[in-house]
Amino acid sequence: MEKLSGKNILIVGATGGIGRETARILKPSGAHLFLMGRKSDELSALANELRIPIHHCFITDITEPAQVDAAATMIHAEAGALDVLINAAGVGIIKPMETLTHEDLMQSLNINLVGAFNLLKAFLPPMKERKKGLIINLPGVLGKTPMAGAAAYSASKYGLNGMLKSVREELKRTDIRITNIFLGGTDTPFWDTIDMRVQRDKFVSAEEAARAIWYLCQQPSSGVVSEMVLQPFNHQAI
């Protein structure tokens, strides 16, 4: 297992259910954590709780390439290339086609797919120079298998999965790993605005999802965990 102490790790979506728990689980490892999100109050509260310097926190909208590039410039100036990029940012718009709007589709694609692209464009080049790094994304099981009402969300997450598979092909001559974790229903604020009957008490907990990411950060250097699937026991979609 790779040791995390001293590694430079960026958690994007650190203000979200999974991102926040991931920061909490990674902090004791001695890694240098950088946090990114949009809600400044929540980001500051997490930084205070974990004693992460405020200059390691970035209020960034990942759909805006200039904002992502500005954060990347500051992180690279201080830390050099990231060892691990964890993209736990995303939006869940789950609606049937009758009520799904063009705006819903564009928002899903912008955050879940274009945002991930902007992060790759900003953080991959220094990793390529070092020929080393780990990039973890969370396409979710709906990026691999369909569900009614998930047309926009699945379009964005299938797209993310496809983009990352293609990038993985480009990186085969390097030690840069691309790891995708396919989570099923996970109990986070993601579900607060989704109008669908779900049993959140049967979901994977945010802490268990974060523990899986913590494991992925330490994956053996002799191989790569290209995919991991973690889904509720009573609702195995894959």
Pairing of strands 84-87, 186-187: unpaired
For residue 229, the cross-strand partners are 182
Q: Who's near 215: CB < 8 A, 6+ residues apart?
A: none
Smallest gap from Cβ 178 to ligand NAP, in A, equals 16
Record the tokens describing residue 157, joined without a space. Answer: 């997450």
Pick between residue 18 and residue 47 the one whose CB is nearest to ligand NAP: 18
Q: Is 153 one of the annotated active-site residues of the chain?
A: yes
Nearer to ligand NAP, 115 or 159 (CB): 115
Q: Among residues 167 and 230, whose Cβ is nearest to ligand NAP?
A: 230
- Candidates 207, 206, 186, 208; CA nearest to 198 is 186
CA-to-CA distance for 222 and 157, rounded, in angstroms?
28
Nearest to ligand NAP of 80, 147 (CB atom): 147
Contacting positions for ligand NAP (CB under 6 A): 13, 15-19, 37-39, 60-63, 88-92, 111, 115, 138, 140, 183, 185-186, 188-190
Element counts in the chain: helices (H) and strands (E)? 7, 9
Which residue, chain included where needed, has tokens 């590039």?
A: 69
**Rounded least distance, CB 32 to ligand NAP, Å:** 20
Task: Give the separation between CA 162 and CA 169, rounded to whole angstroms.
Answer: 11
3-state helix vs strand vs coil in the chain, percent to 5? 45, 15, 35
**How far apart are CB 137 and ligand NAP at their closest, in Å?**
8
Pairwise CA distance, residues 229 & 71, whole Å: 30
Smallest gap from Cβ 38 to ligand NAP, in A, equals 3
Catalytic residue among 153, 182, 190, 203: 153
At its nearest, how many Å lie between ligand NAP and the CB of residue 130? 25
Q: Which residue lies nearer to ligand NAP by CB, 112 or 219? A: 112
Long-range contacts of 55-62 (CB under 8 A, 24+ apart): 56/32, 57/14, 58/34, 60/12, 60/36, 62/12, 62/36, 62/89, 62/111, 62/115, 62/116, 62/118, 62/119
Catalytic sites, residue numbers: 153
